[in-house]
Amino acid sequence: MSTALTLISSMATRHLLTALAEAHAGGGAPATRIESVGGVDAARRVQEGEAFDLVVLAADAIARLDAAGRLKPGSIRPIADSSVAIAVRAGAARPDVATEAALRAAVLQARAIGYSTGPSGTALMQLFERWGLADTLKERLVQARPGVPVGSLVASGEVELGFQQLSELQGLDGITLLSGMPPEVDIVSRFSGAVTANAAQPDAAQALLDFMAGPAADALKRRHGMHAVQASR
């Protein structure tokens, strides 16, 4: 019986990766044990040499691990693109967020705004800077702790408006999804995977990554709030 592969990832991809790994194992490949934690913690553990066969993180974090020599050369595969969505508490009024101007107005009216760690949160802060609202919103911004869904802050009433990747907001109790970001200010994060430099099963790990990056996985990505990597990005 083959030994299970080990994979560490950020929280954003945990449901998708579980579904993809199960689909791959259904074809006779090894099973995969997945540990999902905050992205910063996952990257630190790989950087420090903890033993995993694969790592899946935001593309910029994967690039840093590659530059540090922690990944098998040539093993990186882009897996999925993930768009940011917006949520309010279930039963609350639904603000108009269909255009950039409407979203800016909704943000200005919100009592508190929740956002995540990682690249999507960074991009949202850059948008607020571009709008000239950084100082105005400073006291109303609530960053979720690593591994804590922004949706939980929305559901509890701690924040009025929450921004996080759709994959992490969909299916949560106590919230209402408004939509994605307006097209003109869309925030999309790319997640990539790689075989670690100290992988115990590098060939099997690469085969799983190739499956995850391939077209056979596209339907599962859509089901889990993500989509296939766009060549133009």
Q: What is the mean pLDDT of residues 202-218?
A: 96
Q: Where are the beta strands (DSSP E) in the chain?
A: 5-10, 32-37, 54-58, 77-89, 113-115, 141-143, 161-165, 175-180, 188-195
Residue 231 banded pLDDT, cuts 50, 70, 90: low
Q: What is the mean pLDDT of residues 159-165?
A: 95
Integer CA distances (angstroms), 222 to 56, 132, 182, 197, 230, in order: 18, 34, 19, 30, 13
Q: Is 119 or 196 the better-scoring residue by pLDDT?
A: 196
Structure tokens at 140: 């109303």
Residues near 222 by Cβ (< 8 Å), separated by ≥ 6?
A: none
What is the distance between the alpha carbons of residues 4 and 34, in angstroms, rounded to a whole number? 10
pLDDT digits (tens, 9 = 90+) for 82-105: 999 999 999 999 999 999 999 999
Lowest mean pLDDT, pick from 25-29, 104-108, 146-150, 168-172: 146-150
The pLDDT of residue 177 is 95
Distance of CA 110 to the CA centre of its chain: 24
The pLDDT of residue 179 is 81
Q: What average pLDDT is seen over the chain?
A: 94
Q: Which residues pair with 34 in a beta bridge?
A: 7
pLDDT at 107 over 70: yes
Structure tokens at 69: 């020599």
pLDDT at 128 over 60: yes
The pLDDT of residue 232 is 54
The pLDDT of residue 4 is 96
Burial 30-53 (b: 16+ CB within 10 A, else e): bebebebbbbeebbebbeeeeebb
CB 67 within 8 A of CB 76: no
CB 195 within 8 A of CB 73: no
Give residue 175's region: left, alpha or beta (phi > 0; psi -120 to 50). Answer: beta
Please tell me what DSSP assigns to residue 213.
Answer: H
pLDDT at 148 over 90: no
* Nearest Cα to Cα of residue 210 among 221, 194, 224, 226: 194
**Could you give the domains of the chain?**
5-80+190-223 (3.40.190.10), 82-185 (3.40.190.10)
pLDDT digits (tens, 9 = 90+) for 46-87: 999 999 999 999 999 999 999 999 999 999 999 999 999 999
Q: Is 213 or 2 the better-scoring residue by pLDDT?
A: 213
> What percent of the chain lies above the pLDDT cut of 70?
98
Q: Strands 5-10 and 32-37: what pairing?
A: parallel
pLDDT at 167 over 90: no
What is the distance between the alpha carbons of residues 47 and 52, in angstroms, rounded to a whole number? 11
